[in-house]
Amino acid sequence: MTERKGIIVFIILFLNLFVCAGESISIAAVGDIMLGTTFPDAVLPKSQGIMLMKAADSILIFADIAFGNLEAPFTECELLRKDSTDTCKYAFRTPPYLASALKNAGFDAFTLANNHVRDFGDKGLKDTKQTLQEFGIKYTGMKNEIAKFERDGSKIAIVGFAPYYGMNNMCNIEESKKLIKTLSDSFDIVIVTFHGGSEGTDAQHVYDAEESLFGENRGNVYKFSHAMIDAGADLVVGHGPHVLRAMELYKGRLIAYSLGNFCTYAKINTFGISGYAPVILVNLQKDGSFKDGRIYSFKQKYRQGIAVDNEYSASNQIRKLSYEDFPESSPVIDDRGYISIPKSY
């Protein structure tokens, strides 16, 4: 019976996406992904991680584009760049063979703009890019580095930002605006994804203020997101706090301020709200404006991957935060995670 139900859900999702084809572009997005690490000791999934994201692959595969944040380098480099004696810092090193799990799950692109992709220096970063290329997955995040797609006659750009050296810098808003304005002249749809803001259970709310952690300036995510849409971006997706944050509609465009963790197999807290692992499926009009969408709720199981959450914990949490932080500009989010534009908007 469970298998039959799964087939029915799969068919409904397929038909839903098929009907929307030609009318809109479907974008699936997730937060942080770290599939396992060999540093300082090996904590790795079985069977090349093929089952880690199986619960969500029907959504990811059938979206026009699916992307997330790659929170660890794919490398075997042994030269650690970080100071491992600093207890405030973590370092990850994922074996390149695990990238096959991302391809099998249906991902098309990743942002590498974050605080872990250089854990093993420029060599680790170079290995990561090469690995993704070998699996046909595009990437963005380093300065002026764009993931480019064409879907159903529309040209789409995804550009990653973070407050770190050598990356598209979200703290330099004027420079970031120039990049987005240039892209909006050449692409039909521009998607911005950023890794910023503070971290932890006390970092769930969005403020118009600079955030910092461990002495790092992690940007003003509110000001940055609005500026990117002002400059021509059509969808803004954030991550970095390791918890969920609110959604907002701004000038007819959707901002998801943090999608938290998606599949972080080891060394990252996945208990309580840190284990909420949503996939958002957003349908954009051909002009880039928000049409509708859904928050699919999953939870991480400790060192097992993600599982469907029938209690809709992730969507309920995002709805709560959205109504609290943006009472005048929150999208409507129903009790099953469907996202729509308010009638009064």
Structural domains in the chain, sorted by start: 2-340 (3.60.21.10)
Can you tell me the distance from the alpha carbon of 321 to that of 330, in angstroms, rounded to the nearest whole number?
9
pLDDT for residue 249: 98
Q: 182 is written with which tokens?
A: 């240039």
Contact 233, 168 (CB under 8 A): no
Q: Is the dihedral of CA 94, 122, 218, 161 positive or negative?
A: negative
Longest dimension (CA), the chain: 56
Q: Whole-angstrom Cα distance, residue 291 to residue 64?
A: 15
> 203: which residues sit within 8 A by CB, 6+ positions away?
197, 211, 241, 243
Looking at the chain, how many residues does it have?
345
C-alpha 291/C-alpha 276 separation (Å) is 25
Among 325, 295, 331, 300, residue whose Cα is nearest residue 312: 295
* H runs (alpha helix) in 232-310: none
Beta-bridge partner residues of 296: 279
Q: Is 23 exposed, middle or buried (0-12, 13-18, 19+ CB in 10 A)?
A: exposed
Distance of alpha carbon 331 from alpha carbon 246, whole angstroms = 10
Selection from 138, 125, 14 nearest residue 68 by Cα: 138
How far apart are the C-alpha atoms of 277 and 301, rounded to whole Å? 10
**How far, in Å, CA of 343 to CA of 22, rounded?**
25
For residue 231, what is the DSSP state?
H
- The phi-psi region of residue 5 (left if phi > 0; otherwise alpha if psi is between -120 and 50; otherwise beta) is alpha
Q: Reduce the DSSP state of residue 127 to 3 states and report it.
A: helix
Pairing state between β 253-256 and 298-301: unpaired
Residue with tokens 């600093």: 86
What is the pLDDT, as a whole number, of residue 7?
52
Do β-strands 216-217 and 212-213 pair in parallel, antiparallel, or remain unpaired? Answer: antiparallel
Q: Is the peptide bond before 40 cis (omega within 30 degrees of 0)?
A: yes
**Do 156 and 189 touch, CB atoms closer than 8 A?**
yes
Q: What pairs with residue 189 in β-bridges?
A: 156
Q: DSSP H helical segments within 21-156, as ranges?
A: 57-62, 99-105, 121-134
pLDDT of the residue at 5: 43
- pLDDT by residue for the chain (345 residues), tens only, comes to 445 445 544 555 555 544 444 689 999 999 999 999 999 999 999 999 999 999 999 999 999 999 999 999 999 999 998 655 554 468 999 999 999 999 999 999 999 999 999 999 999 999 999 999 999 999 999 999 999 999 999 999 999 999 999 999 999 999 999 999 999 999 999 999 999 999 999 999 999 999 999 899 999 999 999 999 999 999 999 999 999 999 999 999 999 999 999 999 999 999 999 999 999 999 999 999 999 999 999 999 999 999 999 999 999 999 999 999 999 999 999 999 999 999 987
Question: Coil, strand or helix: which one is 120?
Answer: coil
**DSSP state, 259?**
B
Q: Please state the pTM of the whole predicted model.
A: 0.93
